[in-house]
A and B are shown apart, each in its own frame.
Chain A
Amino acid sequence: MATTHSRAAARLMLSPAVLLLLGWMIIPLSMTIYFSFLHYNLLIPGTHDFIGFANYSYFLTDPAFFAALFNTLLLVGGVLAITIVGGVLLAILLDQPMWGQGIVRILVIAPFFVMPTVGALVWKNMFMNPVNGLFAHMAKALGLQPFDFLAQAPLASIIGMVAWQWLPFATLILLTALQSLDREQLEASEMDGASPFSTFFYITLPHLARAITVVVLIQTIFLLSVFAEILVTTNGGPGYATTNITYLVYAQSLLQFDVGGGSAGGIVAVILANIVAIFLMRMIGKNLDI
């Protein structure tokens, strides 16, 4: 690969893929930026006036915006917390030799194969429904008042559903990382007199740091754009209780037919995602290079 000739050939071979990816990214982005400066409403055809930053000021001063921003952060943070802590514990559990290990592992991974809309509907109708849901039945069996999850704790319920969806992913990545931990290190720490807790905090957890970082980064990307679960369960409500930025953009452009405002919201979401990314890389990015 070192000769000039082979490097030129490599560039030539790579260029179609690079150009395709660049076009794939640049064209929608520039279109969105362009639309975000227009007065472009599907209910008022024909008028595409340039209106400067009006769409942005409208979107950013919308009272729903800060609620949505806050909800987005809560959703991302809540799901990350549950999946990381739960994932580490589950991974440790699955790493223990036990009967039927293969089947248990497949069962644990199963939620990841259920598409988000289906998963959310199952949760909504079969578990959380205050009349027919399993939880309602359990509450009634115990003589308690059924709890209406999606009305009384809507965001927490959504966080629960999304965490259920993402827990297998975290578990899987952390389990493979756990299996790469050198057994002799664990034995050495045992010889050194470390209790199981000390071994976990001083040996296992530092070993998992890189895998945890990968899980946090990948999940954050997807969790910033959670949409299907909200659409099929609460529609962003009650009020704005479960509206995140993604849902707000959707509401703006496809419920109010305001393409300009929606585009501005989309650009704001891109900027916010980048801010989150910068903070994340600052905080945990150092774990990736050893």
Chain B
Amino acid sequence: MGEIVLDQVTKTFGHVQVIPPLDLQIEDGEFVVFVGPSGCGKSTLLRLIAGLEDVTTGEIRIDGEPATHTAPAKRGLAMVFQSYALYPHMSVKKNIAFPLKMAGLPQSVIEEKVENAAKVLNLTDYLDRRPGQLSGGQRQRVAIGRAIVREPSAFLFDEPLSNLDAALRVNMRLEISELHNSLKTTMIYVTHDQVEAMTMADKIVVLNAGRVEQVGSPLDLYNAPRNLFVAGFIGSPKMNFIEGETAEAHRATTVGIRPEHIAVSTDAGSWAGVVSVAEHLGSDTLLHVQTENLGTLTARVDGEFSVRHGSRVFLTPQEDKMHRFDARGLAIR
């Protein structure tokens, strides 16, 4: 159970409409990621679903029941906050037990559920510690533990990994994905990091200025972005956009080509240019090429490909992987 439907939901702060009318359907058991640049309204949307903000107009339905005016605790959702929001004066055990205690469950049941959650999250040895004595990753797990003991119909994650260092972030990403696989509960995850979105999601919702730009599976968005914004946002490094004559030759205002879909050669190709920066990642090398009349393009080549700053190279795009966009920025199919 955990189907969430947003029907023409809007949110206005003062005179500023942060979310224009928005429809969204989240299926039971899905891992949905809201992704978008800072200030695009993704956290606001999550807080509307959680009930921490009031919806201005529109309706939210959880499992078919109208939940627009239901108190946050009654919606059966659990949230993991960006700062974890652990209660600093309570031990890990009491933190995890808090929602159960508030629900008025008997002590024996609480003990058992906390034990189980701690076992799942490898927290058994830390149950008597305070949050202040834990590392970032452990705090994150306590926050998740506090969410899972409630057995919610959906989990809401608000940028949960942004306070962790890079290595730990990759680990926690895996752990959350594994948790989703074992619990099979709906999860809604907010992030500004498109890598997190691509790696974790069943369904990605790309938001920009409160509007849903596109909804789809990670590969849908990668292969068939609906507009320039999605094309530029999904994929790393960013897609190259070319305008002018080259685009007109393809009967489009703008054409986009991903760095990995450009072949690089040192002797012949469609576009000539000079390497301005070569970023060696080991497995790949990212070349920033200053072309003669198309501006700077990024290309991804094999790590073995040896070019340096100042090398002259030729770029050849894979024509079938080109994305075409019209004057309004919409993709031409």
Contacts and interface: CB of A to CB of B under 8 A. Distances in A.
Q: Residue among A191, A193, A195, A207 with the most chain B CB within 10 A? A: A191
Contacts of A185: 85-87
B231 to A, nearest CB: 34
B82 A194 contact: no
Contacts of B52: 187, 190-191
B166 interface: no
Given A184-B81, A184-B82, A198-B102, A190 B72 contact: yes
Interface string B41-75: 00000000010100000000000000000001110
A87 B248 CA distance: 72
Contacts of B85: 182, 184-185, 187-188
Interface string A173-196: 000000000101101111111110
Q: Residue among B77, B98, B132, B146 with the most chain A CB within 10 A? A: B98
Contacts of A206: 87, 89-90
Contacts of B132: 290
A193 B51 CA distance: 12
B83 interface: yes
Q: Residue among B50, B83, B89 with the most chain A CB within 10 A? A: B89
Contacts of B87: 185, 188-189, 202-203, 206
B102 A191 contact: no
A191 B89 contact: no
Q: Residue among B73, B74, B77, B86 with the most chain A CB within 10 A? A: B73
A122 interface: no
A184 B146 CA distance: 14
B319 to A, nearest CB: 50
A269 interface: no
Given A193-B99, A206-B89, A188 B73 contact: no
A209 interface: yes
B73 A190 contact: yes
A208 to B, nearest CB: 11
Nearest to A187: B52
Interface in A206-252: 206-207, 209
B130 to A, nearest CB: 9
Contacts of B301: none
B72 to A, nearest CB: 5
- Chain B interface size, as a band, is 20 to 34
A97 to B, nearest CB: 13
Given A203-B87, A206-B89, A209-B89, A192 B82 contact: no
B230 interface: no
A184 B72 contact: no
Contacts of B77: 191
B102 A194 contact: yes
B79 A191 contact: yes
A198 B99 CA distance: 11
B103 interface: yes
Nearest to B152: A191
A185 B95 CA distance: 11
A182 B72 CA distance: 18
A191 B98 contact: no
B102 A193 contact: yes
B78 interface: yes
Contacts of B82: 184
Contacts of B74: 193
A192 B102 CA distance: 7
Given A192-B73, A193-B73, A207-B89, A187 B99 contact: no
Contacts of A191: 50, 52, 72-73, 77-79, 99
A10 B53 CA distance: 54
A193 B89 contact: no
A202 B98 contact: yes
Given A206-B89, A207-B89, A290-B132, A188 B81 contact: yes
A206 B130 CA distance: 14
Nearest to B94: A202
Q: Residue among A187, A194, A203 with the most chain B CB within 10 A? A: A187
Interface of B: 50, 52, 72-74, 77-79, 81-83, 85-90, 98-99, 102-103, 132, 146, 150
Given A188-B146, A192-B102, A206-B89, 10 more contacts: A182-B83, A185-B86, A190-B52, A191-B73, A191-B78, A191-B79, A198-B102, A203-B87, A207-B88, A207-B89
Closest 6 CB pairs of A and B: A193-B73, A192-B99, A188-B85, A184-B85, A206-B89, A193-B102
20 contacts: A182-B85, A184-B83, A184-B85, A187-B72, A187-B79, A189-B98, A191-B73, A191-B77, A191-B78, A191-B79, A191-B99, A192-B146, A192-B150, A193-B99, A193-B102, A194-B73, A194-B98, A202-B87, A202-B90, A206-B89
